[in-house]
Amino acid sequence: MTLDGKNHGGVRVSIGDTRVVEGDSGAKVLDFVVQLSRAAEETIDLTYSTEDDLAAAGSDYVGVTD
């Protein structure tokens, strides 16, 4: 995760606990909260993407880059 390549006065981003809503079949939703360490003085653009580990994009989940 990057904060648009700028310092932003030391503002940091964190991701809280994740939760997967399980079911018997079909797509599942991953729910999580993204927080700033404090209020930013200007707009922050956040870039994110998924990354394979124990699961693989295309077969286990839908990969995302934004």
Torsion of the alpha carbons at 21, 25, 27 and 33, rounded to the nearest 10: 10
Give the per-residue pLDDT at 4: 61
Collapsing DSSP to helix, strand or coil, 22 comes out as coil
Q: Could you give the angle at the alpha carbon of 59 between the alpha carbons of 57 and 63, nearest 5°?
A: 25
Give the per-residue pLDDT at 45: 80
pLDDT: is 52 or 10 the higher one?
Answer: 52
Tens of pLDDT, residue by residue over 15-53, are: 888 888 777 777 778 888 989 998 888 888 888 888 999
Give the per-residue pLDDT at 29: 81
Would you say residue 2 has pLDDT above 60? no
